[in-house]
Amino acid sequence: MNLSSAIHRKIFHIVSISAQKIKQDSYVIGGYVRDYLLGKIKFKDLDILTIGEGIRLAKEVSKYITPDPKIRIFKRFGTAMLEYENQKIEFVGSRKESYHFYSRKPIIEFGSLKDDQNRRDFTINALAISLNRNNYGELIDPFGGLLDLKQKILRTPLDANITYSDDPLRMMRAIRFATQLKFVIEKYSFQSIKKNKNRINIVSSERIIDEFNKILLSEKPSLGLFLLYKSGLLSIILPELVLLKGIKEKNGYKHKDNFYHTLQVVDNISKEKNNSLWLRWVALLHDIGKTHTKKFLPKIGWSFHAHELVGSNMIPNIFQRLKLPKGSYMRYVKKIIQHSYRPITLIGNHTKDSAIRRLLFDIGDDLEDLMKLCIADITTNNIEKKNKYKKNIYLLMERIRKLEERDRIQNWKSPISGNDIMNTFHINPCKKIGIIKDFVKDSILEGKISNDFHSAYFLMLKKGEELGLKKK
């Protein structure tokens, strides 16, 4: 099969000429070829395989590009990378690999094209297009990758058991590609993942999470989350989720399966393409506190009282264990989960404005994401119920919007600060400052005074006086 059409851009000609000059046969390989054949013609990273030294080819290619591109050289791996027209181009010398049992870092030797294709993870990723003069554009497909692409199958070039055991990250990659491409992992291959699941422990958390995040960012993350569960990998990576599985029944009362419910919530959140990775993490972890709060109450049924607080308190440890970022993203996930149940408690006409103001004060900028979670959380199959729940949330959102308009309460900061209090009364930091601040805040939230500096200032003077302070 000739695929010259895939390599008609200038960069391919430059690589081809450079490769001929240094007499190293070269190929485009991996993701670019796969995605081109899938009809996803986009500018994406290019992987160039050369029979010889990758760094040498990168240097030769750079001579043909103006202005001089910066080459990043990874000597230890014998690879080099340069950027051309916003596209990353990676140059790799062909290799043969063998592995130690305790490491996923291979012992690398020089190898032929076939050796290099053998060490690739999947047949669809081993497809190569020749950049050489004698067969320019020819697809080199030693393992039937093209057929696997057509049949939507993920298959390893060599024995799956060995492929996954050698580099267990490939198990995560298999599930990630299956999710992104909506492919099926071939049966024996999937059995091998099950068999080798514990070998994931030799892979760093960063690499595991890299793949996990790609699954979460895909169109339908539940596909991958379910495969992670089925393979046994999820129990190792995120046991908190697996513990949500199962339905209990007592005296005719049943609760839903919170694992499958969670998968559905994640899918719902992911329907909006631009929903962030961290909102997806919120959806994924929003119910993890249910395992520890599940109780049966006679005549009432199953209760998960305070699961959102218990769950949010579990977040820092999970983030630390998985080497997820510690700072503002962790706080965002924790905070939304902590308040995830509050909107539900505010539904209905009887709710006081002050209760809504309190939520606005606590959630601040993340109100919109919290409401998105509430809507995604509606997973009942009963259409009537579903519509009713959704309508309730929309009504609440409308009420919040009106209240905000009136009060300017979102992003609420007290109109007076601790510094204002200290300066007014000429006092040093002490308990009284907190008491005055809280009093002013509560008065605004309760609607006793309006949310402006003047009203807050006079209230501060009054409360200060009560506490024996004098304006200086």
Footprint on this chain of ligand ATP (rule: CB under 6 A): 30-31, 45, 47, 120-121, 125-126, 167, 169-170, 173
- Tell me the closest approach of the beta carbon of residue 120 to ligand ATP, in angstroms: 4
Which helix (H) or strand (E) segment holds residue 296: the answer is strand 295-297
Q: How far is the CB of 179 from Mg ion (least distance, A)?
A: 16
Which one of Mg ion, ligand ATP, none interacts with residue 60, CB within 5 to 8 A by kind?
A: none
Q: Residue count at the site for Mg ion (CB under 5 A)? A: 2
For ligand ATP, give the closer residue by CB, 31 or 69. Answer: 31
- Which of the listed partners (Mg ion, ligand ATP, none) does 307 bind, with a CB threshold of 5 to 8 Å by partner kind? none
Q: Report the residue closest to ligand ATP, judged by CB.
A: 31
Report in angstroms the alpha-carbon separations of 219 from 25, 97, 270, 316, 424. 38, 34, 6, 27, 56
CB closer to ligand ATP, 11 vs 359: 11
Q: Looking at beta carbons, which residue is closest to Mg ion? A: 31
Q: Which does 56 bind (CB under 5 to 8 A by kind): ligand ATP, Mg ion, none?
A: none
Residue 102 CA neighbour count, 13 Å, CB half: 0
- Closest CB to ligand ATP among residues 30, 343: 30
Our CA angle for 211, 81, 23, nearest 5°, is 125
The whole-angstrom separation of Cα 283 and Cα 266 is 5
Q: Widest CA span of the chain, in angstroms?
A: 94
- The alpha carbon dihedral of 451, 453, 458, 460 has a sign of positive
The answer to whether residues 198 and 257 touch, using CB atoms and an 8 Å cutoff, is no
Between 31 and 106, whose beta carbon lies closer to Mg ion?
31
**Which one of Mg ion, ligand ATP, none interacts with residue 141, CB within 5 to 8 A by kind?**
none
Nearer to Mg ion, 31 or 232 (CB): 31
Shortest reach from residue 322's CB to ligand ATP, in Å? 20
Which of the choices Mg ion, ligand ATP, none does residue 167 contact, using the CB cut-off of 5 to 8 A by kind?
ligand ATP
Question: What minimum distance in Å lies between the beta carbon of 195 and ligand ATP?
Answer: 18
- β-pairing verdict for 79-84 and 128-130: unpaired
How is 204-239 classified by DSSP, letter by letter?
Answer: -HHHHHHHHHHHHTSS-HHHHHHHHHHHTHHHHH-H
Give the whole-angstrom CA distance, residue 442 versus residue 354.
Answer: 9
Task: Assign residue 246 a region (left: φ > 0; alpha: ψ between -120 and 50; beta: otherwise).
Answer: left
Q: Which does 120 bind (CB under 5 to 8 A by kind): ligand ATP, Mg ion, none?
A: ligand ATP
**CA dist list (Å): 83 to 61, 91, 251:** 11, 11, 66
Quote the least distance from Cβ 17 to Mg ion, whole Å: 24
CA atoms of 349 and 396, how far apart (whole Å): 9
How far apart CA 153 and CA 155 sit, in angstroms, is 6
Q: Which of 43, 45, 413, 467 binds Mg ion (CB under 5 A)?
A: 45
Q: Is 31 in the site for Mg ion (CB under 5 A)?
A: yes
In whole angstroms, how large is the CA radius of gyration of the chain? Answer: 29
Chosen from ligand ATP, Mg ion, none, partner binding at 125 (C-beta under 5 to 8 Å by type): ligand ATP
| 83 is a contact residue toward Mg ion (CB under 5 A) | no
Piece of 41-49, 202-210, 315-323, 360-368 that binds Mg ion (CB under 5 A): 41-49
Name which of 145 and 343 has its Cβ closer to Mg ion.
145
CB of 46 to ligand ATP, least distance (A): 9
Per CB under 5 A, which region of 24-32, 173-181, 247-255, 341-349 contacts Mg ion? Answer: 24-32
Judged by CB, which is closer to ligand ATP: 165, or 268? Answer: 165
β-partners of residue 110 are 95
Q: How far is the CB of 176 from ligand ATP (least distance, A)?
A: 8
Least Cβ distance, residue 241 to ligand ATP (angstroms): 24
- φ, ψ dihedrals at 224, nearest 5°: -75, -40
Tell me which residues touch Mg ion (CB under 5 A).
Answer: 31, 45
